[in-house]
Structures are given as structure tokens and as C-alpha cells.
Structure 1
Amino acid sequence: MNLIVKHCFTKPTKVIERFHVQKLAYVALQDVPFRFDNGDTKRQLLARSRYLLFKSADKWSNTQKERAKILFAQYPGIKQAYSLTLSLRMILSLTKDKGASLAKLAIWYNQITDSGFESFNTISATIYTHYTEILNFFDNRSTNASAESFNAKLKAFRAVLRGVNDVKYFLFRVSKIYA
């Protein structure tokens, strides 16, 4: 294009429109990510914080502690939700008595309701509907781990067969193999 302009016009004055120059600056601005003190961008902070939220704070590494401090300062709602989740974990792991568990679970349920977090609606409804079955855990602190294990074996067996066409035969095979 430059050769054509030089050949056709003997004394041209090239002008680059300011819009294009400003557009380049705006693109550059968007490519400069904000970094927190630990070097994370906002996206990295959120992605890398995911696993620390599954642990109690006393098991965090120094890096995770620093990341959590930044995360909770930026997103106080996540800090509140983390606290609620951790308190449920403590109820389920530390409480031994079924009656005390009922009281603590009721208080926790009220805290969830008061928090206004829509993401907790499912667990809130589950506790409301099935609290007696949930509390049965505290009788012997029994779990359904054996049922989950057997379910995994059934799924793997079904996958090997590439599905089930004949249910009676499938049940016969399962009873012979796993009975």
C-alpha cells in the first residue's frame, strides 16, 4: 500500500487516525493484569484458592495462608461461606451426641438461612427434609461407604459389558460375581 501511495501521490502527508492509536492503548491496558502482593492475578487467585477452601485453616501452607488473606479481603462473602462450611464440618466430625448434633445443626441451618447465599439452598433444603436421616449418622457414626464401594463396582462391571440389555442376566452375573 505504501508503494502505491508513493507512486500515485508525489507529496503525500500520511495521517493515522487517533482512534486507532487510542485503541492500541486500550488493548494494551487490558493486557496488563492487576497482580496482588503474592503475584496472582484475580483469575489466578480464584482458581488457586479452590483447594484451600476444602481444608481447615490450620492445614494451610504459608502460601495458602497468604492467598486466603487476599481472597477473603477481596471477597468477604467467600470468607463467610467458608466459615459456614467449616462449621458444618466441625459439627459432623467433632460432635458425638445425637441431641447435641440436632441443636448445632439447627443453629447452623438458621445461619445458612440468614446468610442469604442462594448456593446453599440445596444443602439447606436437604437438611430441612432429611435431618432425621442425617442425625442417624451420630448413632454409630456409620456411613454408606460400603454401599458406595459396591455401587462403584457395579458401574465398572456395567462399563465392561458396554451397557446392559438383559437385566435378568445382568443381575444373575452380579449375584454370581459379588455374592
Structure 2
Amino acid sequence: MDNNNTSTQTIANLYGLDGKKLQRQYRDYLSEFKDWEYLEQSTKWLVYPQNIGKRLSIDEIALSQGELYTVVTNKKAKGRAGSIVAIISGTKSEEVIKYLKKIPEGKRRLVEEITLVMAGGMKLIAKKSFPRAVQVIDRFHVQQLASDTVQDIRVKYRWQALELENEAIKTAKNNNYQYLAEVFSNGDTRKQLLARSRYLLFKSPDKWTSSQKERAGILFKQYPMIKDQS
């Protein structure tokens, strides 16, 4: 007997059926989903105490229609079956803590490490729910915050450059002379330099092209603060 998983869409294609309709019929009539003992609570919270481990991760994820859920996973499972420890609707600390405490305290106290994002709410959830766990900040989140900071500085300087250019154009017009924008050695004007640098700031310097290296050199010379934050 073949025990491999097959999607409803694959079956529908094989027999010339409407895939979405087959999926609904399977969910509503064949799968016994409506008789699931956790159906009523499943839109708010689900916990799987049997999946808990020594090293967990907690994060907020946008799922259905952009609604945020707090998800706790077992890092040892690496995204495979048995990864999810809890999935809870919303990110309010008190609500998440309440549902996580449905996991027996003995199991929660076995957790030695929990990886989380840099948010006060997440820290409180981790502290109250897994009191013995060492909190580790997600390095990818740290990198994202650093990148966002650099981009914010770049955007601020670009708005300043646009305002200065508009003032210079206005002054030139009022005094009957042609405005000529400053052009750097790579052919960028100041506002172009700040706009076009967006892409290189997302990349590691060792992946810059020759033109990006040239642009970065000019950018960092003109705006040392961007270099300091990179």
C-alpha cells in the first residue's frame, strides 16, 4: 500500500475535478475536521506539550489575512514534524503567557534556551513562561534592525538633499540663472547618489560590483554616519 502524502489538488488534476471544491469537501465531510476536539479553540490557541525541547524559538508570524500569531517552535526539529510547541493568536503578553501556561510547568522548566526577537513583550513572555531558559536574541533580527537603521539615515539625508535642491532651483529661477546640480565622479548627483545607494546597503561589501564600490566610497565620504552605522 502506498503511504506517500498526496495533495487534494494532485488528485483533482488526476481525475479532472475542481481542486478547491475537493479540498473543501475533504475538510468538511471526509476528514472529520468538524469533529476535531480542539476545533473551537484552534482559532485562538493550540499547544503541543509533547513537542517541547531544551532549545526553543519564539516569534510573531503573519498568517491568515495578515493576522499576527505568536509561534513557539522546537529548534531541534528544524521545521519538520513536531516543530510547533504552541501557536497563539495575537501578541499580547498576558494572553500568550496564559495559553503557554497550559503546558505543564515541569515541561516548561526543562527549557534551557529560547531564541527571540528584540521586543519587550517577547522577553516578558519568555521570562514568565520558561523561567529557567537563557534568552538569546535572534541574530537575523539584529541584522535587520541594523539594516533598517542605515536605510533610515539614508532616507533622511535624501530628503534633506531634495529640499536643498528645490531651494537652489527656486533661488536660481528668482535670480534668472540656470541651476546646475553637483555631479560626483561616478556621474551621480547628490540625490541620485542617495537614492541609488539603497541597493548596495542591503548587500555585503564583498558582493558589491565595481560601480557599487565606487558609489559606496563617495557615499561614505559625503555621509560618514552611514558608514559608521553599516
Give TM-score scaled by structure 1 length: 0.31
Q: Which structure has the highest helix share of the two?
A: 1
**Higher RCO structure (Cα 8 Å, ≥6 apart):** 2
Give TM-score scaled by structure 2 length: 0.24
Structure having the higher Rg: 1
